[in-house]
Structure 1
């Protein structure tokens, strides 16, 4: 079923029928602050997740129209691990926390940014996560088991601010909105 979702400063999450965008399938209320981010689970068609400015994360059941779980951990952006959806990455202040989706237990806490983390994105395999602050991008490897580490730091001090990034599966490059491309293997800036 083609769906899209919106989050709002009015503290709601809405799920829409993409074929009929004038029709809202569900409106979810319960957040105490503006909803900053949301994401659909990659394998559970019924599950959507949202976080608000107070750090509250909520799992919503689209079919039931109800809140399935509430816990703390993300204020800026959160994303489900692609394909499997086993983990949820949530940005809050200058760190990123990786939660187990089933138990909400913290699996990893990535710290190292000097400024607030504004954006996170997974690579398509779900083995790497990029976190973005105003002046840097850090690429984290989840590794196997409990091992996790920063494998690349891309500093942009003295240049334009970074707002978002994406990990491209074909080129293997990290791209920022400043149209800078970074070679994932050599960690060097290239011309777009």
Structure 2
């Protein structure tokens, strides 16, 4: 891909050998708020225009205002680390998966306890996806199974198992009955949720697939790979209509890429994506050309675990050591990425 160049706008920067941006003096200070969690943040998702939901190693689920950093709700009920969080669009419902093998549903304006339990997995639950109509939930686990649930009753509507299919992430295709699934067996699968059957599997990659995302138009899928010492760690773009080969790869992270998301772009602007990695960097990429447009190193954050898109210019990044980072993106010929707050 050639030499990477930083496009961060808030300081003059240079690259260290590990790929991080080394700052020579910030122009604007990062706003620091009380942390949402007492330990590593493992997952973050956008909830409403001004809110986000997160889960952590402290076993709690937090709902915060990403604009002010204020914590609005803390839900406690899991017995072990929360692994994934998600929400049902246009509702006040939040879902969390945990190493305690359970999934719980929480009401934003309800009691502090869970309003629904989804029990049935034998190992840690590592995938969560809510249907576009908010009636069904799909979950995946390291027990090699996918489950479909009725959100209102908590009833398991279907269960499917594939040998060695250790689920790492799930996402629902907008407006469709299909769920995308990433796996430790290095494969991205498309599930038909109606019968809970695999409709298609992309050619296996060389490394564990850690995360997946789907574009809002339902045409493209992203996946990210594990890696170390500069091997692996790429993100991959797939066309859901032409499912034989990958469309593009994004190579530049030095360690495992943990999260990948499509970024909303205005008319006439370059379609782009973002990735986060154990190497403490967040990168923005040209979706079609594969070029790295901006790199931001969150020094001291430790491994970065999860990304969430809040609006056309705001990205949240969950980290192991320093909470949730609020990142601002700018459009134009030279896209910029900067940290503005942390909580």
Do both share a fold (TM > 0.5)? yes
Q: Structure 1 unaligned segments of length 5 or more: list them.
A: none
Which of 255, 261, 266 is equivalent to 1:166? Answer: 261
Any idea what the Cα deviations from partners look like across 1:135-166, whole Å, max 9, x if unmatched? 1111000116xx44310011236x24311010
Q: Does structure 1 retain, via aligned residues, the 8 Å contact 2:262–2:273?
A: yes
Q: Give the SS at the match of 2:106.
A: strand
* Larger RCO, structure (CA 8 Å, separation 6 or more): 2
Q: Does structure 2 retain, via aligned residues, the 8 Å contact 1:108–1:148?
A: no
- How many pairs align? 187
> Aligned Cα RMSD in Å?
1.7
Question: Any residues of structure 2 matched to 1:1-192 within 5 Å, and which?
Answer: 1-20=91-110, 22-43=112-133, 45-73=134-162, 75-82=167-174, 84-92=175-183, 93-134=185-226, 135-143=233-241, 147-156=243-252, 159-170=254-265, 172-177=271-276, 178-191=281-294, 192=337
Runs of 4+ aligned residues of structure 1 deviating over 6 Å after TM superposition are: none
- Alpha-carbon offset, residue 106 of structure 1: 2.1
Q: Does structure 1 retain, via aligned residues, the 8 Å contact 2:203–2:245?
A: no
Q: Does structure 2 retain, via aligned residues, the 8 Å contact 1:113–1:136?
A: no
Take 1:14 and 1:85, find their aligned partners in 2: how far apart are those partners?
Answer: 24
Take 2:151 and 2:196, find their aligned partners in 1: how far apart are those partners?
Answer: 19
Q: Does structure 1 retain, via aligned residues, the 8 Å contact 2:148–2:196?
A: no
Take 1:26 and 1:152, find their aligned partners in 2: how far apart are those partners?
Answer: 40
Larger radius of gyration: 2
Q: TM-score, normalised by structure 2?
A: 0.52
Q: TM-score, normalised by structure 1?
A: 0.90
Take 2:212 and 2:258, find their aligned partners in 1: how far apart are those partners?
Answer: 10
Take 1:104 and 1:46, find their aligned partners in 2: how far apart are those partners?
Answer: 15
Q: Does structure 2 retain, via aligned residues, the 8 Å contact 1:85–1:101?
A: no
Compared with structure 1, are the counterparts of its residues 160 and 123 closer, same or farther at alpha carbon in structure 2 (3 Å cutoff)? same
Q: Does structure 1 retain, via aligned residues, the 8 Å contact 2:210–2:257?
A: no
Q: Structure 2 unaligned segments of length 5 or more: list them.
A: 1-90, 227-232, 295-336, 338-343
Take 1:51 and 1:169, find their aligned partners in 2: how far apart are those partners?
Answer: 27
Q: Does structure 1 retain, via aligned residues, the 8 Å contact 2:123–2:143?
A: yes
